[in-house]
Structure 1
Amino acid sequence: MATRYWVVSLPVPTSASSLWSRLQESISKHSFDTPLYRFNTPDLRVGTLDSLLSLSDDLLKSNSFVEGVTHKIRRQIEELERGSGGESNALTVDGVPVDSYLTRFVWDEAKYPTMSPLREIVDGIHVQVAKIEDDLKVRVAEYNNVRSQLNAINRKQTGSLAVRDLSNLVKPEDIITSEHLVTLLAVVPKYSQKDWLSTYETLATYVVPRSSKKLHEDNEYALYTVTIFGRVADNFKTSARERGFQIRDFEYSPETQESRKQELEKLMLDQDTIRTSLLQWCYTSYGEVFSSWMHFCAVRVFAESILRYGLPPSFLSVVLAPSVKSEKKARSILEGLSDSANSTYWKSEDELGGMGSLGGDADSHPYVSFTINLV
């Protein structure tokens, strides 16, 4: 599948079908690796020259917006698929691959009646795509919210002993809680373990001798228990902190552990459900936005052609997908075919007072041309 296409219109001197035959013949002879298709631009309502000129100012801006939304949705699909280890499915419009939809484009008269003013069609497309973009933001925010909650929990499960959740490292038998005694959990830098073992009994009065036991160790810290009389706990914590030992607040509770486990399972389930729903929505919405974009391109090629070649509308619009090495050849063929017909209308940008083109790469060619990037 090509990822870059040119939408081009050439002025028709006598008959569109004979120009089409000449273009096909030239491309197959001199640029045979350039796929070429007719681009079906319907007969739209021209309106006044003033309305076309004012529309032309907005076409480029709106095109960038619509194109940007298609890329946003495509990137979101890739990110979601990558996150689950899957591969993106082919992007489609109503079940038709996007490149086929583009190269066999047919105007949807039911959705965009050709008798509507061009401004109405363009504004309608803009509003519809803006709504989809807003919807995308809301759905992605919901998904990211669940993901960040999960990441926070995972950080607590996998971070260093200074910050991680300790509940799954401590067993009921490690903790003594009685009327007078409490067990504290000390996070000791790995290089200070000897220091801890030789001093913990002296950090406060009423520390139970030989009560410290190592429960766990990571790259930076070791986790120790120590049993002391409850009334000296505050003094012990202060002395420990002064020596570089961190006493972690911890209360052993099977109920809390169970509720955390359930919270984690629920969040994982929520993440899967929201991800699946978001992915499905993205595939469908990509098709909708892409279809809108192609209708927009048809309006654009129609409006640019009228401004470029004059009235009545008489032009041939085509789609090409040249390889990088064939671009120059394809451009010279298009130029050759537009030169003979274009002598009547083609004037310099100055003579046209800025009407000659609507931006993009159209400026540098004596025919209408703009690029569609699928990625």
Structure 2
Amino acid sequence: MAMRYWAVSLPVKTSTTSTWNQLQESISKQAFDTPFYRFNVPNLRVGTLDSLLALSDDLLKSNSFVEGVTHKIRRQVEDLEKSSGVEAGALTVDGVPIDSYLTRFVWDEAKYPTMSPLREIVDSIHGFVAKIEDDLKVRVAEYNNVRSQLNAINRKQSGSLAVRDLSNLVKPEDIITSEHLETLLAVVPKYSQRDWLSSYEKLTDYVVPRASRKLHEDNEYALYTVTMFRRVADNFRLKARERGFQIRDIEYSPEAQETRKQELETLMQDQETMRSSLLQWCYSSYGEVFSAWMHFCAVRVFTESILRYGLPPSFLACVLAPSVKGEKKVRSILEGLCDTAGSVYWKSEDEGGATGGLAGEADAYPYVSFTINLV
């Protein structure tokens, strides 16, 4: 699939068939590796010259918006597929690959009646795409919210002992809780374990001697239990902190642990359900937005061709996919099919002529031309 196409229109001197045949012959002789196709732009309602000029000023900005939403949805598809380890599927318009849809474009009269004013068609496309973008933002925000909750839980499960949830590391028999005794959990830097073992009994009175046991260890910390009389627990926390030992609070409850497990499972199911739903929506919406974009490109070709070549409409619209190496050669072919006098006027300043163009195009040619980037 070609990633980049040129949408161009050429002035017709005798007939569109004759101009098309000339283009075919020139491409086959000089740039035979360049795919090219007719772009079926219908006869649209012209309106007044002032309305066309006003519309042309907005075409580039509107095109950037519609194109941007198209690429935004495509990137979302890629991100969703990547997160599940699956390669993104082919993007289509009603089952038709997007490059095929472009090269075999047919105007949808039911959606965009050709007798409607051009401004009305453009506003309709812009409004439709804007609604799709708003819907995308809402759906992505909801999905990311679930992902954030799940990531927060996973960080607690996989982070260091200083921050992670300890409930799955502690068993009921590790904790002594009675009217007078209490077991605390100390997070000790690995390099300070010897210091902990030699000092914890002396940090305060009424600490049960030789009762500290290591429960777990990671790359940075070790988790120890320590049991003491309940009335000295607060003082022990203070003394331990002064020595660089962190006392983590935990209230072991099998019921609470089961609840957390169920919450995690529910979030994982919600994430997968929302991912699948969002992905399906993106595939469907991409086709709708891409179709709207191609209709917009057709309006743009029509409008700029009328402003460039005048009335009545007499131009050949086509799309080409030249290679990077063949671009200069194809440009030369296209220019050769235009009026010589017009070509002189539309030369760039570097070539000694005046510059011209429509809708803010940086490069000007004696024919209508703009790029359609599929990715």
2:61 maps to: 61
State the distance in 1 between where 2:222 and 2:320 align.
66
Match of 1:37 in 2: 37
Hey, what's the Cα distance between the residues in 2 that align with 1:284 and 1:297? 20
Q: Is the 8 A contact 1:349 1:356 kept in 2?
A: no
What is the distance in 2 between the residues matched to 1:216 and 1:62?
A: 59
In structure 2, relative to structure 1, the CA distance for the partners of 1:315 and 1:54 (3 Å cut) is same
In the alignment, the residues of structure 1 paired with residue 36 and residue 201 of structure 2 have an alpha-carbon distance, to the nearest angstrom, of 85
Q: How does 1:149-228 map to 2 (within 5 A)?
A: 149-228=149-228
**8 Å contact from structure 2 (residues 161, 221) kept in 1:** yes
5+ residue gaps, structure 1? none
What SS does the corresponding residue of 2:339 show, helix, strand or coil?
helix
1:284 alignment partner in structure 2: 284
Q: How far did 1:204 drift?
A: 1.0
Q: Which residue of 2 aligns with 1:300?
A: 300
The C-alpha deviation readout for 1:178-235, integer Å capped at 9, x for no partner, is 1110100000010111111111111111111111000001111100000100011001
Structure 1 position 339, deviation (Å): 2.6
Give 1:356 shift.
Answer: 4.4
Indicate the residue corresponding to 1:358 in structure 2: 359
Other-structure match for 2:97: 97
SS at match of 2:338: helix
1:130 counterpart residue number = 130
Q: Does 1:116 align with 2:116?
A: yes
Rounded to whole Å, the distance in 1 between the matches of 2:42 and 2:345 is 23
User: Within 1, Cα distance between the matches of 2:248 and 2:226?
Assistant: 12
Instruction: Report the residue type matching 1:291 in the other structure.
Output: S
**1:105 partner letter:** F
In the alignment, is the contact (CA less than 8 A) between 2:305 and 2:368 conserved in 1? Answer: yes
Q: Is the 8 A contact 2:176 2:183 kept in 1?
A: yes
Contact 2:150/2:268 (<8 A) preserved: yes
Shift of 1:347: 6.6
The alignment's TM-score, normalised by the length of structure 1, stands at 0.96
1:234 equivalent to 2:234? Answer yes
1:358 shift after superposition: 1.9
SS in 1 for 2:326: helix
1:61-113 deviation line (CA, Å, top 9, x unaligned): 00000000001000000010011000111000011000000000000000000
| Residues 1:342 and 1:315: Cα distance change in structure 2 (over 3 Å) | farther
Contact 1:185 / 1:225 at 8 angstroms: preserved in 2?
Answer: yes
Match of 1:14 in 2: 14
Equivalent residue number for residue 148 of structure 1: 148
Amino acid at match of 1:140: V
Pair 81,91 (structure 1): closer, same or farther in 2 beyond 3 Å: same
Match of 1:79 in 2: 79
- Return the alpha-carbon distance in structure 1 between the equivalents of residues 94 and 36 of structure 2: 23
Three-state SS of the structure 1 residue aligned to 2:224 is: strand
Contact 1:309 1:346 in 2 (8 A): no
Q: What TM-score results when the alignment is normalised by the length of structure 2?
A: 0.96
Output the CA distance in 1 between the equivalents of 2:291 and 2:155: 42
Compute the displacement of 1:348 (Å): 8.1
Aligned residues: 371
* Matching residue's letter, 1:153: I
- The residue number in structure 1 matching 2:274 is 274
Following superposition, the deviation at residue 364 of structure 1 comes to 1.9
Give CA-to-partner distance per residue, 1:27-65, whole Å, 9 cap, x none: 011100000100000000000000000001100000000
8 Å contact kept, 2:6–2:319:
yes
* SS at structure 1 position matched to 2:19: helix
Does structure 1 retain, via aligned residues, the 8 Å contact 2:158–2:164?
yes
Letter aligned with residue 279 of structure 1: L
**Hey, what's the Cα distance between the residues in 1 that align with 2:347 and 2:216?**
79
Query: Quick one: which amino acid aligns to residue 250 of structure 2?
Result: F
Aligned counterparts of 1:47 and 1:157: Cα–Cα separation in 2: 65
How big is the shift at 1:359? 2.4
* Counterpart residue number, 1:249: 249
Give me the whole-angstrom Cα distance separating, in 2, the residues matched to 1:93 and 1:348. 38
**What is the rounded CA distance, in whole Å, between the counterparts of 1:84 and 1:130 in structure 2?**
28
